[in-house]
Structure 1
Amino acid sequence: MTTAESVILEVPDPAAAQSFYEAFGVGDRVHVRASQTPTTGFRGYTLSLVVSQPNIVDAFVGAALAGGATELKPVKKSFWGYGGVVQAPDGAIWKIATSSKKNTGPATREIDDLVLLLGVDDVKASKQFYVDHGLEVSKSYGRKYVQFTAPPTKLTVALYGRKALAKDAGVSPDGSGSHRIVITGDGEPFTDPDGFVWDTNPA
């Protein structure tokens, strides 16, 4: 079974980005490398931190904003839980959320799951591509959403329609150029139908 290990974000200033992510609290889960590859608008993906309670959401969002992130969707309660969306200084979009509406302990800054949501043109076709490349489906909702199996503490990869993902993030779906992200994992390197790159031993 093929699984994702982590993500590499391509950024113009690796030192500044690494400093931001360490202060944000995800420095051990995200890697950065220098790149000046052109990109405009929505890059076609979001990263989500799934946590256990609202005060942890507040802690992560507060740290991101203090480090220079931009608020895309303010933190608020909804029928599904509690969360908000920010954009890091390097341009990556982060959603921090919990299904819980009440705090039951201290704000530990502990991450339950790190999810990379890929915005794709055709969820069904991309799902089949990934299955053919050795990934195992753990959740599937027709042409709307697919999630792949991931070992504990590793990166969970999921597929969502590009327009729906942009709406969830609070941005326009328009964008072009590089995704500015590389997914690391086992198996053979490949590029998916939407241009997302998977690499075994990235430089």
Structure 2
Amino acid sequence: MLFPAHDLGSNDIFSREGNLASYIDRILLPGRLYLGNHDPEGILSTIPAVSTALLGMFTGEFLLSDYLKDKPLKRVLLMGIAAIILMAAGKLWNLVFPINKNLWTSSFVCWVGGLSLLLFAVFYLIIDVWHFKKWAFFFVVIGMNPITIYLAERIINFRSASNFFFGGISDLLPETWAPLVNAIGVTAIGWVFLYFLYKRKIFLKV
């Protein structure tokens, strides 16, 4: 969609301040933007973000329904086809409407939604259809308390704990490996925290 606009802030439509989403936010939410001239959770970007949530909800409704309940392989096939269609749509849309997480563009919704659905279909096949479950315990611990770890990450400094326990390892490796080691360390410490809650059957739900 093309239309004349004043005070975009930049001639570069792919810059943080020169896009339609930021322009609308500056008009409707002046002085309230998270980054001054842009808000990653602004008004316009919220609409496609809701679409992302709906994709997950529709997938859940599909699995809870009786449709193909006795034919799980066909369910996997349908999810795989839907995933490929979404990813293809995202890539094609990217030619005119770039995949951009910060703006949560519609092409980003299609691409990431399709990729997520494809991975979900693979895990559904392995765990629920083929019944290979023991290896997935690591993910079960996380999945039982997703809201807890989401909130805890904002309260508990897992990064500092990771640097304390794993900082020596990252110092021995090339500098380019440091972010990976730190990410693994943060994940490991967060998982231990969740496992502590899991063993005591402490689960935060909404």
TM class by shorter-chain length? under 0.3
TM-score, normalised by the number of residues in structure 2? 0.22
The higher relative CO (CA closer than 8 Å, separation ≥ 6) is in 1
Query: Of Structure 1 and Structure 2, which has the larger fraction of its residues in helix?
Result: 2
Query: Of Structure 1 and Structure 2, which has the larger fraction of its residues in strand?
Result: 1
TM-score, normalised by the number of residues in structure 1? 0.22
